[in-house]
Amino acid sequence: MQRGASADEVMVDVEVSSKEDPAQTNHKTQTDVYDLRLFRNGQIVGEWPEPRGGIGGAESIEKWRAASKVPMKDGQTKILHRFMVQVPRRDKGKPIKFTSYAFNEDRIKSETASYENYSVSDDVEPAKPRAFVITIGINSYQKPYRNLDFAVKDAKDVSSALRQIKDYEVVPLSLLSEAPKAGVAKPVDQATKANIHAVLGVLAGNSDRTALNDLANADKLRKATPDDLIVLFFSGHGHTEDTGAFYLIPSASKTDDSVATGILTNFISSEELGEWLREVDSGQMVMILDTCHSAASVDTPGFKPGPMGDRGLGQLAYDKGMQILAASQADDIALELRGLHNGLMTYALREGLNLDARGKARARRDLAGVGTVTLSQWLSYAEKRTPTLYEDALAGRVNMLSRDSVVDTRFIKSVQRRAQTPALFDFVRSSTSPEIVQQ
């Protein structure tokens, strides 16, 4: 363990060794080492070998072994690997706990090794943390019947709601796609898969901002640090395969009347999104998905929070200590409200910050919202409020429009079966949450 090139970096050496146990009765007396992981204060900061795409769960164990085996030469039984790790500047002079473990060939976790004798250097220069608020809203798809009315407004409203976060410099960046308006020659089409990937690549430190030059505030993007906060909001269509695999549908995705296998590569799978986020080393990360089937992004078949080597977004959320608010269950739809000009859950989020007169009294009663509301309170409010807002819609107090259907009698009957129910996956290990300053 030694300091890196700068005061906010540290080099962490981890030694791993293969294991031999002649006493095993199943004749498996020796195993190689797989998927070495390093954590900083419980948050994953490194894996070796680095993850590659296309790795699934236990059903793909052979692929997992091929991609995750720690490389050793013939006859070699142990090896040392060095990780370069950022440490939070705000923790100047405070201790950092590093932990590490690996797996055997059957994906059984090793014992956890710990090191607690490192403290952030006293000469580290403080820096004001940044809150990168990335909002994505898609009204316009290639098939007009898939178009949405309020997804762009959802993204704009969330960006506006998070203009002030206590103790953070807020850096908002929006990716929007909508049809041309009257008097405008070209449509706005920013929420492409390539742009979303590029934004997350900059935050991970893997790409520059060249492809994003036309976006407002793109010049303020930078590699995230452990002092920073990232909020990623997506309003648009989601898709779930029969296998349970979940996809976000960006603009320019060549959506057709049906979703054929070949078209899925134009979507963003939860596994792919997890790959993009894995190297983003922010102190805190929040994801809000106002889409149909969005709980499937985390709660995939077979997922259980824990260190069992899964490559999906659910495991990453657990390892990184993320919060993910999904607008609907894995097999359910998300609604837009004509009367409120928002997606159902996004309006509940607005209510939670008292940004609309209709929700002011309720939000103040439920959150005691005077001055500030924490991010955790805000997400929890929307999770609980959305189903009751749905009941208001069914009672005729507001008009409604499905994200995936036109309003007709068949649709009305289907949504009457149960309320839209969000799911909040909260893996945060800290007892504190950033405060949103109310407007």
pLDDT digits (tens, 9 = 90+) for 281-307: 999 999 999 887 666 667 666 666 666
Residue 69 β-bridge partners: 34
Q: Please check whether residue 29 is in contact with residue 22, taking contact to mean a CB–CB distance below 8 angstroms.
A: yes
Note the pLDDT of residue 55. 41
- pLDDT grade for 407, boundaries at 50, 70 and 90: very low
Question: Which stretch, 54-58, 149-153, 254-258, 405-409, has highest mean pLDDT?
Answer: 149-153
pLDDT at residue 416 greater than cutoff 90: no
Note the pLDDT of residue 360. 46
Mean pLDDT to the nearest integer, 223-246: 89
Distances in Å between the alpha carbon of 170 and those of 18, 35, 360, 434?
Answer: 47, 36, 25, 12
Note the pLDDT of residue 58. 42
Of 85-89, 331-335, 392-396, which range is least confident?
331-335
pLDDT tens across 104-128, in order? 988 889 999 999 999 998 888 888 8
Q: Which amino acid is at 356?
A: D
The share of the chain scoring above pLDDT 90, in percent, equals: 38
Distances in Å between the alpha carbon of 324 and those of 232, 239, 284, 376?
Answer: 9, 17, 11, 11
Note the pLDDT of residue 243. 75
List the strands of the sheet with 342-343, edge to edge. 342-343, 335-337, 401-402
- pLDDT grade for 199, boundaries at 50, 70 and 90: very high
What is the CA 374 to chain-centroid distance, rounded?
Answer: 18
